[in-house]
Amino acid sequence: MDAETSRQAETLRALERALVRTEHDKVLALSSQLLEGPVTQPSSSDRSEEAALLRARLFQVRGTARANLGQTEAAVADLEQVPEVFRDESLRFLLAYLYYQIRNLSAAKQHIPQETAEGAEFPSTSRRSWDLLRAQVAYVEGKLDQAANTWLRLLSSSVDHAETGALWTNWFAAQSSKSAPVDLSGDASQGLGVLRDAQLYEGLFNVALWCSLRGDADTATDLLEDARRVAVSELGTEQHVDVARIDVQRGCLLQHQGQELAAQAVYAQLATWQAPRAIVPVDGTTDWVRAFNLSVIEGCLDALLDSEPSTWTVTDAQRQILYWDRALVAIQRKQPRIALDAAEAAFMHRNDAAMLKACALDSLGRHEDAEQLLLAHHLVMPAAQLRYQRGDLTGALALLEQLPILDSPTNSGTVLGRNQPANVLFRVSVYRRQGQLQRALEALQEIDHRKLSTRRLYVEILLENKQYNDALDYLAKDAISDCVLESYRLIALSYIDPLAAEQVLPKHIEERIAREASIRSHQGGWRAPTSESTFGTLRSNQQGPYDTEPAAARAASARPSDAGNAETVASRRRRGHRKSRNPLPQSFRADAPPPDPSRWLPRHQRPGSRRKARRQAGAPGSATTDRATQGKIETATELDAQIRAASAAAKVLPMKGAATKLAGKRRVRPSRAGRS
């Protein structure tokens, strides 16, 4: 057990390092290795408590890593494994927030504490976080007044500029959702000023909705123009879902103002890039349409079900969108009759209509009719999913296994095959749920790995089936460039040879750190352009260590003499710049002179070296002496006389280089006039 204890200690140290470096994938692999590995039996009650605490912290660490990696449901399952006695406030908050993300509001409210006064269970900082989460849950539940009051109360104590803008955005969303009277004075005026200063297009859009719902079309139009300008500037493109949402609302307002041509131009621009069909405008004459805009769709959905389609004053295209949304909301609210009617009235693709009708029939308990409808449209996968949702795993597999194996499988809905990637992955999930891991591995081999890489999933199932040798053999086929696969290899090796795993783990960590450092150092590295025409473009797009100066400054400081010759090198040295012996040329012109070969010589042997010139000219006061004259020092009087003679000769004789005269009592540089 000493070797096992040592292995666990080393794994814990590696886990701590991964936590410090926020390497979520490595944290997930190491915590899974510790949780799924052999457990040492504690020798006393104290040891038992320590083991329980360690196991709880490992579940918390793994759940947090999965939450950061987007595995929300798996993260909730891990965090629920932590006993109540070991749950601190941060864990309870994370668990409540994850439940809110997956829209399990009842579970989220169970973990959210009741509103407390000052100095109660939690400090003010954490109480503010709980209030924000509580307001979000209330907003999704449709309790708009409660959410708006909470946000307004938090605004009174907000000091962060970004948080203030977000709170005002949410507050205006709640006001527009409940169709409150428009009063752009007082609190609303202050909030609008904050949103304009912060340039938050989401907030400006919510204020525009609020105004359009109450008939103030002019103010709404101005706000939408401002929101669109800010959105395009921030997102960098007009073909974005947020910009499309603003344009749809602009088109709707233009229609109600009688500007049909302008509205059609807006809609035509949206049709050029096929804007999402889920975007629904907010109609100023029918308040219920506000529930289907993407900004307030979580606020209230009852209005769509309560209204009659005959009262809709919208265009034909908007009517089809509303039929689609009405069917979806009816299925979500367990009202299949309304969903069936909406699917019948809507003009949509036959497969979409069949899926909506099948969901409604399945909700009514007519499972056979729903399956027959889907199979009649060759929708085998949705039919299998209906069986899977009812718990009929064998029936779901039977539907998928009846399909033929295609030579070139795709995910197209018109070409059906058992080896389609989507079908195979669905079968694998069913096999894993049944515990048939070997069949899951066989199913994964049907996928063309050139179309879809399943290496991670394959190795994960091998480890789950305790086939550690097979996992190592599979990973040894080629070089591993995936950090997750490297972690899986270490997990498999730890079960086969723990001592070898202990020796490999530090090296693996060092290689990972070195690889990440290399990637960071090469991001945006310097590249020589291929021609003069691409020089400015390439250099301006790079952000490497050679591009710290802006492009405009580089262009202004560029000179024709920057060719890297001897004179340039000497002038730079005289200016005090300590350049490398072989500086990179700064000009890539084809007619630029080649670099001077003498730059490869030592500095004191270059033609521009003052020491070499003084030796050749025999100038007095040279900084170096040869072996014959070493130790000989001339007196100051002799030096002054020689300097005066050299200065006088410099005035009448032709010079190859200008003499450098320095003021004061400092020695002056003798003239080069005496050089032959």
Domain residue limits, the chain: 3-114+125-140, 466-519
Q: How far is CA 647 from CA 13, 668, 671, in A?
A: 75, 9, 7
- DSSP label at 291? G
Residue 451 confidence (pLDDT) above 50: yes
Long-range contacts: 490-499, Cβ < 8 Å, 24+? 490/29, 490/33, 491/29, 491/32, 491/33, 491/463, 492/462, 492/463, 492/468, 493/468, 494/7, 494/11, 494/33, 494/37, 495/37, 495/466, 495/468, 496/468, 496/469, 496/472, 498/3, 498/4, 498/7, 499/3
Pick the residue with more confidence: 181 or 1?
181
Rounded to a whole number, what is the distance in angstroms from the first to the last CA of the chain?
A: 88
**Mean pLDDT value across residues 403-415:** 56
What tens digit of pLDDT does each residue of 291-317 get?
344 333 333 456 667 667 776 656 565
Percent of the chain with pLDDT over 70: 57
Residue 592 confidence class, pLDDT cut points 50, 70, 90: low
The runs of H, that is alpha helices, within 279-349 are 302-306, 316-332, 336-345
Measured distance CA(472)–CA(476) in Å, rounded: 6
Pick the residue with more confidence: 509 or 469?
469
Measured distance CA(191)–CA(168) in Å, rounded: 6
CB-based contact 111:134 (threshold 8 Å): no
Q: How far is CA 367 from CA 174, 265, 271, 364, 397, in A?
A: 40, 46, 38, 8, 17
Q: What is the pLDDT of residue 556?
A: 44
CB-based contact 165:198 (threshold 8 Å): yes
Say which range, 37-51, 359-373, 534-548, 622-636, has the weakest mean pLDDT: 534-548
**Mean pLDDT value across residues 230-243:** 80
Q: What is the pLDDT of residue 207?
A: 82
Residue 640 confidence class, pLDDT cut points 50, 70, 90: low
Type of residue numbered 62:
R
Highest mean pLDDT out of 533-547, 553-567, 641-655 = 641-655
Say which range, 57-66, 433-442, 443-452, 531-540, has the weakest mean pLDDT: 531-540
| DSSP three-state, residue 614 | helix
Residue 287 confidence class, pLDDT cut points 50, 70, 90: very low
Q: Provide the token pair at 582.
A: 């072989």
Nearest CA to 147 among 160, 156, 159, 138? 138
Phi/psi region, residue 50 (left: phi>0; alpha: psi -120 to 50; beta: rest), is alpha
Q: What is the pLDDT of residue 292?
A: 41
SS3 content of the chain, % helix, strand, coil (to 5): 65, 0, 35
Measured distance CA(569)–CA(608) in Å, rounded: 9
Pick the residue with more confidence: 187 or 137?
137
What tens digit of pLDDT does each residue of 152-161 get?
787 777 666 6
| DSSP three-state, residue 125 | helix
Q: Provide the token pair at 360.
A: 């409604």
Residue 593 confidence class, pLDDT cut points 50, 70, 90: low
Phi/psi region, residue 119 (left: phi>0; alpha: psi -120 to 50; beta: rest), is left
| DSSP three-state, residue 400 | helix
This prediction's pTM = 0.41
Long-range contacts: 391-397, Cβ < 8 Å, 24+? 393/430, 393/433, 393/434, 396/426, 396/430, 397/427, 397/430, 397/431
The full length of the chain comes to 676
Q: What is the pLDDT of residue 547?
A: 34
- Largest interatomic CA distance in the chain: 119
What tens digit of pLDDT does each residue of 100-142 get?
877 788 888 888 887 654 444 444 557 778 888 888 888 777 7
**Mean pLDDT value across residues 204-225:** 80
HSE-CB at 140 with a 13 A cutoff on CA atoms is 15
Residue 338 confidence (pLDDT) above 80: yes
Measured distance CA(553)–CA(543) in Å, rounded: 15
Q: Where does residue 491 rank: exposed (0-12), middle (13-18), buried (19+ CB within 10 A)?
A: buried
What tens digit of pLDDT does each residue of 252-277 get?
777 777 777 787 777 667 656 555 44
Burial of 627-642, coded b for 16+ CB within 10 Å and e otherwise, reads eeeeeeeeeeeeeeee
Q: What is the pLDDT of residue 345?
A: 77
CB-based contact 580:603 (threshold 8 Å): no
Q: What is the pLDDT of residue 217?
A: 79
Say which range, 351-355, 380-384, 575-579, 630-634, has the weakest mean pLDDT: 630-634
The CATH code of the domain at 3-114+125-140 is 1.25.40.10
